[in-house]
């Protein structure tokens, strides 16, 4: 969905692929991910991020044996401005 497509929404879910583009990507996809999170940081669009997405993003560095990077990713993603982190439980799933 483009920026203009998001204009009518107050809240948007963030999938792990958006975060992976932001943290590990380059080019148009990384720029779009950054622009989306920047927009959430200033409002009025609010982001919603499931804890599962944080685990998915951190699993890449962990799989490569880089526990410090996995922890850094988890910490940074847990404190994104304008983004609410929610547990993914049965009710939400």
| 17 close to 52: Cβ distance less than 8 angstroms | no
pTM score, two decimals? 0.81
93 in a structural domain: no
The Cα–Cα gap between 81 and 64 comes to 28
Domain extent, residue 28, equals 7-86
91 in a structural domain: no
Residue pLDDT, tens place only, 69-92: 999 999 999 999 999 999 987 777
Say how many Å lie between the first and final Cα of the chain, rounded.
22
> Which residues have a Cβ under 8 Å from the Cβ of 9 and sit 6 or more positions away?
45
The whole-number average pLDDT for the span 25-32 is 91
51 in a structural domain: yes
């Amino acid at each position: 969905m483009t920026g203009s497509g998001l204009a009518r929404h107050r809240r948007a879910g963030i999938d792990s692929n958006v975060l992976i583009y932001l943290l590990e990507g380059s080019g148009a996809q990384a720029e779009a991910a950054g622009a989306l999170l920047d927009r959430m940081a200033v409002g009025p669009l609010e982001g919603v991020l499931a804890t599962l997405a944080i685990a998915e993003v951190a699993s890449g560095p962990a799989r490569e044996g880089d526990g410090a990077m996995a922890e850094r990713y988890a910490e940074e993603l847990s404190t994104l401005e304008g983004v609410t982190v929610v547990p993914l439980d049965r009710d939400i799933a």
